[in-house]
Structure 1
Amino acid sequence: MNFKKLCKSALLVTGILASSAASATVILSTDFDGRTVSGNTASDLTWTTNGVIAPGVLAANSGSDSFSLFDTAAAQDRFAVDRNLHNEGNWFTDITFMMANDFASVSLSSVSFDSIIFNNSGNVQGVQRDLDFTVELFDDLALGPIFSYAQNNIFAANGSNSQPVKNISFDNLAVLLQQDTEYTLRITASGTGPGNNAGIDNFVLSGDVSPVPAPQAFALLALAIAGIAVRKAKRS
């Protein structure tokens, strides 16, 4: 194989490795199974990651008030917040992560989770209560959200609660993560009308990932470039 063909082959191999590795997949997820509750914080979370660094613990916040997570039988293996949305106000949880260094690119396409309503005793709500969720993404520049999407009226505000758990999804995010940048995905729960508490389960952040190309591809490319340089030197 001459050096020109070698160079083309090296570039082709490098491109194939980078592009074929990119595929829709789970970027970050947790099902909250086995979590430990202390105050407003859930620890011992099991995270599935691909292209990002796991966030660790999650906490429910309001910006000022002190409250806690439910640890009742109905709230086990879920992130359920003991805060009456109508009487006490909204709550949010921040999921903070960074792109891992061994990935060439990571893009986000969707986020989904199960939404659940609870009564003040920490049991799944037996009647319908209004519930809205907003998801926002921030970076460490703190110049405002990169995106902000809302899903309102997840549960109707009247009637019996025949479907206490509903999966909701926010799609078409189209966000390319940058190296050495910290991102925070904020999930905010709100609601009006008769009071209720809320929680989430089965959180999944999806997208595309491309690992850094294998060293063999870079070695082949370097060999081809070196060969071209040698040939040019001989001609001169």
Structure 2
Amino acid sequence: MDKILISIILPVYNQADHIGAIVQEYEEALDKIQHPHELILVVNNCRDRSLEVCQALAKEYPSVRIVYSKEGGWGLAVKLGIAASKGDLICYTNSARTSAKDLTLLLLYAVVYPQVIIKANRKIRDNWFRRLGSLFYNLECRTLFDLSYWDINGTPKIFPRQCDRLFQLTRDDDLIDAEFNIICRQESYPVLEVPIFSTSRHSGRSTTNLKSALRLYWGAWQIWQQKKGKKER
């Protein structure tokens, strides 16, 4: 099999205390894939020493690159990482929730099926609130946008560079994952969801709460209204 370059994008937000351990874990696991890779750390709007820690990691690991942004936002960090990527396969993921085992599993799927978009489908949530909130959001997106996917926000997400419409993502916020799935549906990109059962976190607690959940529900409705308005013109 020809060697392909894999770009892995990790948004970094106030993770100075554990991003080093994550990178070390990923680097050790990625060496087993037998394809070259680049690890793009997108340090965004951090109030701790994340930038200094990531700069030290870039000196230690030749595959690590740094993208810095004074502004924050999950979507913005993902977009900056995609724009900076050089790989044949582009992957982005939430490093706080993604184990090296899960990351390499999905990357191996992507290597075997290089023309298919691979994404995680997280089957288990931390608590009943997250399970119920995720169910409502996924049902909303499936209904509004005629999607067949069961985990809109699930990462890792991996796509081949040929899927050029995914280089035109616009959202700077958490709704970038919904936009990603909507584009895949519009462009008829083949998508394979891989079930993930891990619930462990590298550090910290989830920032998802009722306010952020309501923001997602309302944001998805607004996207649908915008698309509906364009069709009616």
**TM-score normalised by length of structure 2:** 0.26
Larger RCO (CA within 8 A; separation ≥ 6): 1
- The structure richer in strand per residue is 1
- The structure richer in helix per residue is 2
Between structure 1 and structure 2, the one with the greater Rg is: 1
